[in-house]
């Protein structure tokens, strides 16, 4: 309806004729021009066309470049999607206004979460209310992006987007007041007062309870990895993102990451009806939005630096000494995508209640299309 608006946010590039641009070589991303092996016996493992992460220079919302939206003096419910290839969005309002988040990827939150910044990694969604009812007619409020024009590794030392381009998303324009009997303007006929609706005040919203998942019976350890090129082993050469398992190494007497390709047999094979805890060990420099298909999971928490702590101490027990951080308030509902920060162990719990062959992957498009995807078979 009028007061419920989907907003799909993407970053794109355009050619001079207005057609979409996407780079045809890796040089666009990091200047890497080779060498690429042409030996058919030992072919290159660095695809020349692969860009590890693509960042556009133009923000697009619902297919329109830097658009505006006319709004009443009212509350609006926005269903936000980060549809960027790789960009992590950190959204804020130019008037320091408040986002009232009521839901995330897979349903409602247990309570309304108020914030002035909204972080959405690629593929994540947010269900939010913004209240324009107290703003004067003629007010313009910009939805801005503070997320970086580069791979996101967390908030520390982050350089925000270019405020002249990718820092701008869209503009809200408060056009008329539904509390008035009628409103006249230069571009439209009188509008009846019933056109607008402030709805239930956010402070009085009661969201449905989020049922807890049953106790898990399996703890599964998986890994996020970056693998250097073997056909071009230069120190500053390209790396490839890969998912994998954590396997006990007899020589090291500890769990070690085991990167795996898409073609390798499925290792994530939960039983139908089982509830599992997944410990996601991130050994990369990027924050990866990890997505499980056809599952609505709980975010249990994060062990900051846990993955790297175990590796540094050469033991499985170092992470156990680090207190687990609870999920962020906006992660307390059901999710299907979770941000896994560099060096952390991110813990989720999932009920596998539908049998079939699915996938789990990084939701950075350039990663999932280049090996950072694995089978997920519920048996």
Q: Tell me how far apart the alpha carbons of residues 334 and 107 are, in angstroms, rounded to a whole number.
A: 6
* Phi-psi label, residue 271: left if phi above 0, alpha if psi -120 to 50, beta otherwise: beta
Sheet holding 337-340, edge to edge: 337-340, 288-292, 356-362, 373-378
Predicted pLDDT of residue 198: 60
Mean pLDDT by 10 residues, the chain (379 residues): 93 97 86 79 78 94 97 96 98 98 96 98 98 94 97 90 97 80 46 52 89 96 91 70 95 94 96 98 97 97 96 91 97 98 98 97 95 97
Which residues fall within 8 angstroms of residue 229, CB to CB, at 6 or more apart? 45, 46, 237, 238, 239, 240
Domains of the chain with CATH codes: 4-204 (2.60.40.420), 218-378 (2.60.40.420)
């Amino acid at each position: 309806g009028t007061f419920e608006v989907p907003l799909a946010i993407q970053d794109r590039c355009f050619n001079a004729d207005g057609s979409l641009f996407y780079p045809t070589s890796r040089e666009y991303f990091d200047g890497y021009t080779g060498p690429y092996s042409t030996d058919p016996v030992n072919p290159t493992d660095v695809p020349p066309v692969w860009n590890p992460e693509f960042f556009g220079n133009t923000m697009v919302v619902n297919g329109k470049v830097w658009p505006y939206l006319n709004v009443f003096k009212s509350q609006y419910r926005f269903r936000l999607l980060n549809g960027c290839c790789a960009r992590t969005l950190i959204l804020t309002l130019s008037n320091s206004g408040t986002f009232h988040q009521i839901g995330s990827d897979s349903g409602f939150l247990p309570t309304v979460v108020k914030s002035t910044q909204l972080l959405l990694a690629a593929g994540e969604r947010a269900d939010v209310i913004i209240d324009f009812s107290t703003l004067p007619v003629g007010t313009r409020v910009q939805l801005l992006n503070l997320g970086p024009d580069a791979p996101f590794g967390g908030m520390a030392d982050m350089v925000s987007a270019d405020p002249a381009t990718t820092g701008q998303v869209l503009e809200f324009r408060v056009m008329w007041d539904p509390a008035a009997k009628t409103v006249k303007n230069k571009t439209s006929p009188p509008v009846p007062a019933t056109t607008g609706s402030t709805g239930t005040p956010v402070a009085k919203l009661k969201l449905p309870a989020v049922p807890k998942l049953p106790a898990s019976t399996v703890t599964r350890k998986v890994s996020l990895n970056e693998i250097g090129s073997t056909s071009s082993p230069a120190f500053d050469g390209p790396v490839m993102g890969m998912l994998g398992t954590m396997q006990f190494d007899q020589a090291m007497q500890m769990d070690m990451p085991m990167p795996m390709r898409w073609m390798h047999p499925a290792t994530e094979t939960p039983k139908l009806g089982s509830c599992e805890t997944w410990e996601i060990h991130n050994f990369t420099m990027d924050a990866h939005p990890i997505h499980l298909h056809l599952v609505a999971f709980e975010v249990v928490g994060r062990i900051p630096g846990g993955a790297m702590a175990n590796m540094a101490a050469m033991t499985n027990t170092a992470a156990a000494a680090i207190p687990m951080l609870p999920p962020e308030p906006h992660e307390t509902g059901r999710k299907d995508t979770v941000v896994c920060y560099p060096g952390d162990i991110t813990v989720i719990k999932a009920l596998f209640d539908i049998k079939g062959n699915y996938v789990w992957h990084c939701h950075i498009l350039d990663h999932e299309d280049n090996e950072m995807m694995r089978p997920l078979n519920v048996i």
